[in-house]
């Protein structure tokens, strides 16, 4: 729902991802993280919902 | 609606006199013809202040949070939308059904006293609608849970427009959507009227009042305003009774129902058709407030 | 008398904006307020409106305002004060009620021990072009609060004439200077100033402050506050409400300390870190707001912190009405 | 036209903007109890500003936030703040180590009437962290010992661990001539041989006569309320009873609005009031 809502607000859905990972699933955690990073790299730098600090 | 007023006073007198309740929540008249306002009557001698007229638009159930800590019984005059709010309050354990005496009002639709005050003020140019926008699309003018009832049943024009405005937004490109919402929410002055007027926003301690940790910055920039509204809307997802009060009370005219209705629509699509505050039965608890083994994964 | 024709107004504002920040009543999405003039084609001037929903206080106290920046590295911290941009500011078209509110802000920020540097920086070079108010609205009660709506003390006083041109009177040397800059746009004309229509709302404040001092624990506050939902609309649209919060915005090793408007209606406003809150309930917060406006500010500065602009009356979604509060207070019978 | 009578005192502080802090370094940190630490801070040129007993200062952990604290002692070269861990800022302060840069601004408030109390016997009644502001006055009395008569200190906390300034309380202060220290804790503990019970009750038991004596109290609001009642019962006049109050503060200079009790601002007109002044204010603290 959060993903759909953020998408509705025009924010790239790739930036919000969820996965169920058990404490014992170390490999899965690593895979998911790699996946998240890859996806976010694909969308590029975030311009939205971003505070400007000089 | 004079007979509504007479009936209301009669009922309130009886309830206060025989000790059924110790407070009556209703409306009273202000100093302009359109200025009706919610009130709490505790004295028999004050009952004649009560009125019901075409300006009683306020979602009066929101005031029930003031009585959460007591044990006294509370009488509340309630339109169809108010009853949905009351049900939410009961389901969220703000106040038990047993402490409430609900006097339903079959509601012909209300005028918005704020619109009239603004139109008369000379501070803006928008005219006041004959019937408030939110009442024109109301599907629940008749209370369905009450202890007694005032007025005749109102006919409901079925409408398929519930998600029309949300679908319009969905057709836009992501950048258009972001720019649209960023523009609208940049107007927000963070008065929190949308939160305080909301029957679903009934938490004892609100996260926006918390400083440890502070979830949303208090600066009024577009980002923090958006974060505030994202969190607020998400928090009432599936619990919003679609009364439109947040939008009505907003002093800067942000179309907040576009946020709420999107989440209502998503809950509908994920969990099957659902409307908050329509029933007190156990299975009518909002989908996001209960757990089922077959809940879809996307609920988060 | 000098007259600025309506069709020269934009040009006049442009000239003023050359060397000053000019704040003008404008309408955006039916929300009126004093916004900075930049001659955007989309900017709808709202001088024909009686007043603006959002008060002009943002000119001297922006809702969010950085105070100083900091950088941290390990145990060290370096701070740099954020300087308010110096230079001239002009507020155009302000009404007597809001001007009186500005006097309240001056008292709060510039007297009683400390001067507020941020306020002072914005206030000191502010030229005031006030507009005489001939036709009050149903929520107006500035006269009861002691404002002179036809002839408020300003650098320039303008009067909207029947044909919507502005009769222009410079009242101070600062006003003369400004007038000289746009003299070419003005015409010298015989004018008939409008007839002042009476204000329908009468408020008599005699004895109210003193009576309130005896009413802190009176049950009337329970009754009055019952309709209030403790949102901050009244405080944020009020031209006199000035309370603020100081907060920090922190991004790792750098950030800034800023202040922003705060509201006595919020529970968090007086909530102490240990959990004790002297104004924990809505009645207490509601009472403090009205007592601050009508008693406490009076005791401290000798003026009401309400100038009768009517904004809170118009915009309160639940019908809280300061005039009704004053009347109710007067009706209360106190035991001798 | 806006010709108000400015009586600005900010120049006295050696800084132009009263809302911008001066940077100081933490010189020493003392654990008082499990949740109270005393921080010794020094500025580049010694103390950042002069403070009188009972006055306040805004302490800023710059990246986290700032909070108003009573200065629990000012020595020739440093300021001391005894700070209890209760929220976001104080949590962060409890994590810092010696050498940390903090911001301070002040001093704020009126402070204790040290002059008016000269020649009087002094009775201090403190609860919990409420001893911190009293300590500045107590130590001031010790420093000017000949100016004050007999000094009695009644101090209570929830438990032995919660008693602040233990070394001073049990070793130093009882050695001061003509000074009595009474301590009490709320509930009995195995190693505790002293009094058990609340401060107001202990005060009535000790019952120091109001003759020529000034009582000064600070603690949680509920304790203050009962202590004030007890003192009245014991015959103290309103002018003989002094307390120091706490409200939430943000600016410290009487502008931001929140610390008012009636038309008085704690940060300017307080935090110290005598009971006569307090009775004129609404009971909202």
- The domain ranges of chain B are 2-150, 164-288
* Position A53 confidence tier, pLDDT thresholds 50, 70, 90: low
Tell whether the model's pLDDT for residue A37 goes beyond 90.
yes
Tell me the per-residue pLDDT of B161-170, one tens digit each, with 9 for 90 and over.
889 999 999 9
Q: Which residues of D touch C278 (CB under 8 A)?
A: 221, 247, 261, 284-285
Which whole number is the average pLDDT over B29-54?
Answer: 95
- Structural domain spans, chain D: 10-107, 121-279
What is the total residue count of chain C? 336
Tell whether the model's pLDDT for residue D15 goes beyond 60.
no
Rounded CA gap, C129 and A40, in Å?
Answer: 53
> Which residue has better confidence, B195 or C336?
B195
Average pLDDT, chain C: 93
* Position D242 confidence tier, pLDDT thresholds 50, 70, 90: very high
C336 within a domain of the structure (yes/no): no
Q: Which residues of B touch C52 (CB under 8 A)?
A: 123
Cβ of A51 and B270 within 8 Å? no
In this structure, how many other beta carbons lie within 10 angstroms of the beta carbon of residue C202?
10
* Position B30 confidence tier, pLDDT thresholds 50, 70, 90: very high
ipTM over 0.95: no
User: Is residue D114 classed as helix, strand or coil in its secondary structure?
Assistant: coil
Taking the CA of residue B204 as centre, how many other CA atoms within 13 Å lie in the half-sphere pointing to its CB?
Answer: 7
Order of strands, edge to edge, in the sheet holding D121-127? D195-196, D179-185, D151-157, D121-127, D213-218, D241-244, D272-274
Per-residue model confidence (pLDDT) at position D8: 37
> Cα distance from D85 to chain B (closest Cα, Å)?
13
Tell me the per-residue pLDDT of B116-175, one tens digit each, with 9 for 90 and over.
999 999 999 899 999 999 999 899 999 999 999 999 999 988 888 889 999 999 999 999
Rounded CA gap, B78 and B75, in Å?
Answer: 10
Percent of chain D with pLDDT over 90: 81
- The torsion angle over the Cα atoms of residues B267, B272, B278 and B281, rounded to 10 degrees, is -110
When scoring B23, B27, B41, B122 by the number of chain C Cβ atoms within 10 A, the one with the most, hence best to mutate, is: B122
Per-residue model confidence (pLDDT) at position D1: 32
Percent of chain C with pLDDT over 70: 100
* Position A52 confidence tier, pLDDT thresholds 50, 70, 90: low
Name the residue of chain C whose CA is nearest to B220's CA: C64
Which whole number is the average pLDDT over C305-334?
Answer: 95
Instruction: Report the residue from A1, A6, A50 with minimal CB separation from B299.
Output: A1
Tell me the per-residue pLDDT of B232-282, one tens digit each, with 9 for 90 and over.
999 999 899 999 999 999 999 999 999 999 999 998 888 888 888 888 887
Among chain B, residues having any CB pair with chain A shorter than 8 Å are 166, 169-170, 174-182, 221, 223-224, 226-227, 230, 233-234, 237, 262-263, 266-267, 270, 288, 297-300
Tell whether the model's pLDDT for residue D223 goes beyond 50.
yes
List, in sequence order, every beta strand (DSSP E) within D78-120. 79-84, 101-108
Per-residue model confidence (pLDDT) at position C44: 87
CATH among 2.40.30.10, 1.10.540.10, 2.40.100.10, 2.60.40.10 for D10-107: 2.40.30.10
Rounded CA gap, B280 and B61, in Å?
Answer: 15
Q: Which residue has the tokens 């939008």?
A: B247
User: Cβ-count burial of D160 within 10 angstroms (0-12 exposed, 13-18 middle, 19+ buried)?
Assistant: middle
User: Is residue A9 classed as helix, strand or coil in its secondary structure?
Assistant: coil
Which of B68-77, C274-283, D119-128, D220-229 is predicted with the least confidence, judged by mean pLDDT?
C274-283
C188 within a domain of the structure (yes/no): yes
Tell me the per-residue pLDDT of C250-286, one tens digit each, with 9 for 90 and over.
887 889 999 999 999 998 889 888 788 889 899 999 9
Listed residue (B22, B18, B105) closest to B61, CA to CA: B105
Domain that holds residue C300: 2-331
Q: Which residues of D touch B211 (CB under 8 A)?
A: 87-88
Question: Does domain D121-279 fall into CATH 3.30.70.100?
Answer: no
Do the beta carbons of residue C95 and residue C151 sit within 8 Å? Answer: no
User: Is residue B44 classed as helix, strand or coil in its secondary structure?
Assistant: helix
When scoring C82, C110, C115 by the number of chain D Cβ atoms within 10 A, the one with the most, hence best to mutate, is: C115
Which whole number is the average pLDDT over D5-27?
Answer: 67
* Interface check D98 vs B, CB under 8 A: no
C226 within a domain of the structure (yes/no): yes
Rounded CA gap, C236 and D165, in Å?
Answer: 45
Q: Which residues of C touch D101 (CB under 8 A)?
A: 75-77
Q: Which residue has the tokens 């590295």?
A: C73
Do the beta carbons of residue D105 and residue D23 sit within 8 Å? Answer: no
Which whole number is the average pLDDT over B87-102?
Answer: 94
Q: Which residues of A touch B224 (CB under 8 A)?
A: 51
Name the residue of chain D whose CA is nearest to B210's CA: D88
Structure tokens at B50: 């009560």
* Interface check C188 vs B, CB under 8 A: no
Do the beta carbons of residue D251 and residue C244 sit within 8 Å? Answer: yes
C242 within a domain of the structure (yes/no): yes
- Structural domain spans, chain A: 2-43
C97 within a domain of the structure (yes/no): yes
- Count of structural domains within chain C: 1
Average pLDDT, chain B: 91
Which distant-in-sequence residues (6+ apart) come within 8 Å of D139 by Cβ? D53, D73
Listed residue (C66, C16, C14) closest to C38, CA to CA: C14
Name the residue of chain B whose CA is nearest to D87's CA: B212
Cβ of B213 and D87 within 8 Å? no
* Interface check B220 vs D, CB under 8 A: no
Cβ of B31 and C319 within 8 Å? no
Rounded CA gap, C109 and C116, in Å?
Answer: 5
Tell me the per-residue pLDDT of D132-154, one tens digit each, with 9 for 90 and over.
999 999 999 999 999 999 999 99
Cβ of B213 and D88 within 8 Å? yes
Tell whether the model's pLDDT for residue B210 goes beyond 50.
yes
* Position C186 confidence tier, pLDDT thresholds 50, 70, 90: very high
Q: How far is CA B78 from the centre of its chain?
A: 11
The b-or-e profile of C60-81 (16+ CB within 10 A means b, else e) is bbbbbbbbbbbebeeeebebeb
C172 within a domain of the structure (yes/no): yes
When scoring B33, B121, B199, B254 by the number of chain C Cβ atoms within 10 A, the one with the most, hence best to mutate, is: B121
When scoring B217, B230, B255 by the number of chain A Cβ atoms within 10 A, the one with the most, hence best to mutate, is: B230
Per-residue model confidence (pLDDT) at position B300: 66
Listed residue (B130, B30, D97, B57) closest to C75, CA to CA: D97
Cβ of A10 and B174 within 8 Å? yes
Cβ of C254 and A53 within 8 Å? yes
Rounded CA gap, D187 and C109, in Å?
Answer: 48
């Amino acid at each position: 729902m959060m993903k759909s809502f953020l998408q509705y607000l025009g924010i790239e859905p790739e930036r919000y991802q969820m996965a169920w990972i058990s404490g014992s699933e170390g490999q899965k955690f690593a895979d998911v993280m790699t996946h998240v990073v890859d996806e976010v790299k694909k969308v590029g730098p975030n311009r939205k919902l971003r505070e400007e600090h000089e | 609606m004079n007979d509504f007023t007479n009936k209301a006073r009669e009922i309130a007198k009886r309830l206060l006199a025989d000790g059924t309740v110790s407070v009556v929540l209703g409306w009273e008249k202000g100093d302009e013809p359109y200025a009706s306002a919610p009130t709490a009557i505790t004295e028999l001698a004050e009952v004649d202040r009560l009125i019901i007229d075409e300006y009683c638009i306020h979602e009066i159930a929101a005031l029930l949070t003031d009585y959460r800590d007591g044990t006294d019984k509370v009488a509340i005059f309630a339109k169809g939308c108010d009853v949905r709010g009351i049900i939410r309050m009961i389901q969220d354990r703000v106040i038990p059904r047993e402490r409430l005496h609900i006097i339903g009002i079959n509601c012909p639709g209300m005028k918005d006293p704020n619109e009239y005050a603004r139109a008369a003020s000379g501070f803006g140019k928008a005219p006041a609608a004959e019937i408030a926008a939110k009442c024109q699309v109301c599907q629940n003018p008749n209370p369905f849970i009450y202890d007694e009832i005032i007025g005749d049943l109102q006919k409901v024009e079925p409408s398929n427009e519930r998600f029309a405005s949300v679908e319009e937004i969905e057709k836009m490109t992501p950048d258009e959507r972001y720019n649209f919402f960023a523009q609208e929410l940049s107007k927000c002055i963070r008065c929190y009227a949308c939160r305080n007027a909301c029957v679903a926003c009934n938490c004892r301690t609100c996260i926006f009042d918390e400083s440890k940790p502070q979830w949303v910055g208090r600066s009024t920039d577009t980002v923090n305003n958006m974060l505030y509204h994202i969190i607020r809307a998400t928090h009432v997802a599936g619990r919003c009774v679609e009364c439109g009060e947040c939008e009505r009370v907003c002093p800067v005219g942000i179309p907040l129902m576009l946020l709420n209705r999107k989440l209502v629509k998503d809950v509908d699509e994920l969990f099957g058709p659902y409307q908050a505050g329509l029933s007190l039965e156990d299975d009518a608890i909002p989908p996001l407030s209960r757990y089922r083994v077959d809940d879809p994964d996307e609920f988060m | 008398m000098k007259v600025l024709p309506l069709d020269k107004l934009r040009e006049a504002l442009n000239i003023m904006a050359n060397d000053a920040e000019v704040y003008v009543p404008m309408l955006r999405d039916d929300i009126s307020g004093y916004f900075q003039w930049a001659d955007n084609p989309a900017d709808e001037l709202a001088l024909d409106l009686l007043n603006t929903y959002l008060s002009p206080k943002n000119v001297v106290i922006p809702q969010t305002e950085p105070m100083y920046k900091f950088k941290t590295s390990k145990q060290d911290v370096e701070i740099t004060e954020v300087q308010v941009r110096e230079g001239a500011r002009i507020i155009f078209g302000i009404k007597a009620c809001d001007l009186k509110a500005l006097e309240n802000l001056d008292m709060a920020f510039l007297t009683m021990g400390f001067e507020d540097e941020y306020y002072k920086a914005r206030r000191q070079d502010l030229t005031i072009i006030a507009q005489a108010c001939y036709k009050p609205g149903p929520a107006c009660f500035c006269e009861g609060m002691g404002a002179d709506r036809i002839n408020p003390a300003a650098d320039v006083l303008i009067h909207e004439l029947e044909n919507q041109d502005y009769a222009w009177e410079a009242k101070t040397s600062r006003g003369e200077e400004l007038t000289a800059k746009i003299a070419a746009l003005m015409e010298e004309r015989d004018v008939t100033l409008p007839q002042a229509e009476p204000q329908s709302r009468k408020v008599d404040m005699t004895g109210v402050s003193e009576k309130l001092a005896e009413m802190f624990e009176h049950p009337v506050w329970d009754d009055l506050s019952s309709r209030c939902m403790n949102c901050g609309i009244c405080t944020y649209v009020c031209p006199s409400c000035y309370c603020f919060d100081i907060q920090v915005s922190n991004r790792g090793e750098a950030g800034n300390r800023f202040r922003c408007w705060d509201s006595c209606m919020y529970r968090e406003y007086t909530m102490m870190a240990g959990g004790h809150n002297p104004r924990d309930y809505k009645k207490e917060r509601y009472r403090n707001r009205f007592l601050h406006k009508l008693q406490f500010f009076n005791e401290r500065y000798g003026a009401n912190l309400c100038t009768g602009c009517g904004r809170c009356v118009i915009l309160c979604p639940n019908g809280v009405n300061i005039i009704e509060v004053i009347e109710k207070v007067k009706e209360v019978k106190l035991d001798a | 036209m806006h010709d108000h009578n400015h009586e600005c005192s900010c120049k006295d502080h050696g800084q132009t903007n009263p809302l911008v802090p001066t940077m100081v370094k933490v010189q020493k940190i003392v654990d008082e109890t499990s949740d109270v630490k005393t921080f010794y801070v020094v500025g580049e040129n010694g103390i950042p500003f002069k403070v009188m007993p009972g006055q306040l200062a805004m302490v800023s952990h710059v990246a986290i936030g700032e909070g108003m604290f009573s200065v629990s002692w000012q020595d020739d070269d440093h300021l001391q703040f005894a700070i209890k861990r209760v929220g976001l800022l104080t949590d962060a302060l409890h994590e810092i180590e010696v050498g940390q840069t903090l911001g301070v601004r002040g001093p704020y408030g009126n402070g204790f009437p040290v002059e008016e109390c000269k020649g009087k016997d002094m009775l201090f009644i403190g609860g919990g962290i409420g001893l911190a502001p009293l300590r500045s006055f107590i130590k001031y009395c010790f420093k000017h010992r000949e100016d004050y008569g007999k000094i009695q200190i009644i101090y209570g906390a929830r438990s032995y661990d919660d008693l602040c300034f233990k070394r001073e309380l049990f070793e130093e202060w009882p050695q001061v001539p003509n000074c009595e220290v009474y301590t009490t804790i709320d509930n009995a503990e195995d190693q505790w041989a002293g009094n058990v019970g609340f401060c107001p009750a202990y005060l009535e038991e000790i019952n120091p006569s109001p003759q020529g004596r000034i009582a000064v109290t600070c603690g949680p609001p509920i304790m203050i309320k009962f202590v004030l009642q007890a003192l009245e019962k014991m015959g103290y006049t309103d002018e003989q009873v002094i307390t120091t109050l706490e409200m939430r503060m943000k600016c410290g200079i009487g502008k931001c609005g929140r610390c008012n009790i009636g038309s008085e601002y704690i940060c300017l007109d307080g935090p110290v009031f005598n009971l006569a002044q307090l009775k004129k204010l609404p009971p909202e603290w």
